[in-house]
Amino acid sequence: MQTLEVDLGERSYPIHIGDQLLGRGELFGEHIGGKQVAIVTNETVAPLYLDRLIDSLSGVTVTPVVLPDGEAYKNWQTLNLIFDALLTARLDRKVTLIALGGGVVGDMAGFAAACYQRGVDFIQVPTTLLSQVDSSVGGKTGINHPLGKNMIGAFYQPQAVIIDTSTLSTLPPRELSAGLAEVIKYGLICDEPFLGWLEEHVQALRSLDAAALTEAIRRSCAAKARVVGADERESGIRAILNLGHTFGHAIETHQGYGVWLHGEAVSAGTVMALEMSCRLGWLSAADRDRAVRLLARAGLPVTPPADMTPEDFLRHMAVDKKVIDGQLRLVLLKRLGEAVVTADFPREVLEATLRADYDALLAQLGV
């Protein structure tokens, strides 16, 4: 097992990464303050891993809360199902919530923990690659609103993140690729050598090679922990973690939540951010193409949906959380491994990026 630390003063916590950690009850016990635990999971993950986790916990009563599965359920109605279950079981302020599942479960259980009786402890047990490398770390919790992705939520840090890499063995390939979008993101924004490593290991990762997955998760979590440690509440540098997300969230919202996976939308959105960085004269065409090839080799979409117009993008992008005083800010690349958050770009360059012919770009790359 490897352990990293998210360094946030009194809110610091460990990230444990290893094989078969669901069976290591003592790891969980260290972070459970009372005698009550509620495990929030969903209909897909529960049959796979709920019993294994319950069996490893001792000396506590466990209330399972099994939610419907899907991004389309990341909303108030589903959140309320968690509160219904906690109140029905009369769980008190010493309860520890455990989020067992992907990013949807983690974001909702974390938000429920932030709100229930004004805040109770919670542990993230992410079971998708995306949630293991990104959403379980850093304390962003919340739900979607029909008008905007992740628009309702709270910053609320867990007591620990416990990553059992063996859970990835049941993950569908499409979901694995979606997680790789966020892994590649770390290389693009802050770790150029990691891109080289990913180029060498992308096939191993897609074939679920355990050593390669552990290394990708460790390196991604280390990058995320560094950025979150420097700027917990996104007053500055943390926004670089949103490379591709402003374009991507527009895709997710426009298509309907769950139609494109979050990581897929981030991938196509990242290609748009690369293209814009290139048009601004910051990123070379060769570096843009290198990154697009890697995303494509990871099994990800690298063109935006054909049915979305520039006006569709602009409408959805206007409700991004990085908009301040009506001004849109974007995460762009100065070069591979160096991201900036900026509002300082000509509007025409954004519009040209939205109108660009991505199919032609792909055809030229031969991917």
CA pair distance 69, 160, nearest whole angstrom: 24
CA pair distance 8, 12, nearest whole angstrom: 4
Tell whether residue 145 is among the known ligand binding residues. Answer: no
Least distance to ligand NAD from the beta carbon of 59, Å? 27
| Cβ pair 114, 154 in contact under 8 A | yes
**∠ CA 297-303-305 to the nearest 5 degrees?**
135
Binding mask 42-61 for ligand NAD (x = CB under 6 A): x-xx--x-------------
Q: Which of 242, 246, 253, 303 forms a contact with ligand GLY (CB under 6 A)?
A: 242
The yes-or-no answer on residue 224 being catalytic is yes
| Cβ pair 274, 253 in contact under 8 A | no
Binding mask 199-238 for ligand GLY (x = CB under 6 A): ---------------------------------------x
Tell whether residue 79 is among the known ligand binding residues. Answer: no
Cβ–Cβ contacts within 10 Å for residue 210, how many?
A: 13
Least distance to ligand GLY from the beta carbon of 185, Å? 9
- Our CB check for ligand GLY shows the closer of 136 and 277 to be 136
CA pair distance 214, 54, nearest whole angstrom: 24
Least distance to ligand NAD from the beta carbon of 286, Å? 29
Could you give the 3-state DSSP secondary structure of residue 132?
helix
Q: Dihedral sign, CA of 101, 102, 105, 111?
A: positive
Mention every residue, 6+ apart, whose C-beta is less than 8 A from residue 309.
none
**60-79 residues near ligand NAD, rule: CB under 6 A:** 69, 71, 74
Binding mask 123-152 for ligand GLY (x = CB under 6 A): -----------x---x-x------------
Nearest position to ligand GLY, beta carbon: 241
Q: Which helix (H) or strand (E) element contains residue 53? A: helix 51-56
CA distances from 352 to 63, 82, 109, 322, 345 (A): 53, 44, 40, 21, 12
Q: 320 contacts which partner out of ligand NAD, ligand GLY, none, CB within 5 to 8 A by kind?
A: none
Give the tokens for residue 150.
């992740």
**85-144 residues near ligand NAD, rule: CB under 6 A:** 101-105, 107, 127-128, 130-131, 134-135, 138, 140
Beta strands in 36-115 (DSSP E): 36-42, 61-67, 96-101
> Which of 219, 262, 279, 321 is the catalytic position?
262
Tell whether residue 254 is among the known ligand binding residues. Answer: no
Q: 238 contacts which partner out of ligand GLY, ligand NAD, none, CB within 5 to 8 A by kind?
A: ligand GLY
Least distance to ligand NAD from the beta carbon of 170, Å? 4
Give the tokens for residue 131.
């949630």
> Which of 31, 219, 238, 316 is the catalytic position?
238
Least distance to ligand NAD from the beta carbon of 92, Å? 26
Radius of gyration of the chain (CA): 20
* 241 binds ligand GLY, rule: CB under 6 A: yes
CA pair distance 277, 283, nearest whole angstrom: 6
Could you give the 3-state DSSP secondary structure of residue 323?
coil
Q: Which residues are annotated as a binding site for NAD(+)?
A: 69-74, 103-107, 127-128, 140, 149, 167-170
Q: Please give the residue ranges that form the binding site for ligand NAD (CB under 6 A).
A: 42, 44-45, 48, 69, 71, 74, 101-105, 107, 127-128, 130-131, 134-135, 138, 140, 150, 167, 170-171, 175, 178, 262-263
Q: Please give the residue ranges that form the binding site for ligand GLY (CB under 6 A).
A: 134, 138, 140, 238, 241-242
Q: Known catalytic residues?
A: 118, 140, 182, 224, 234, 238, 242, 245, 249, 262
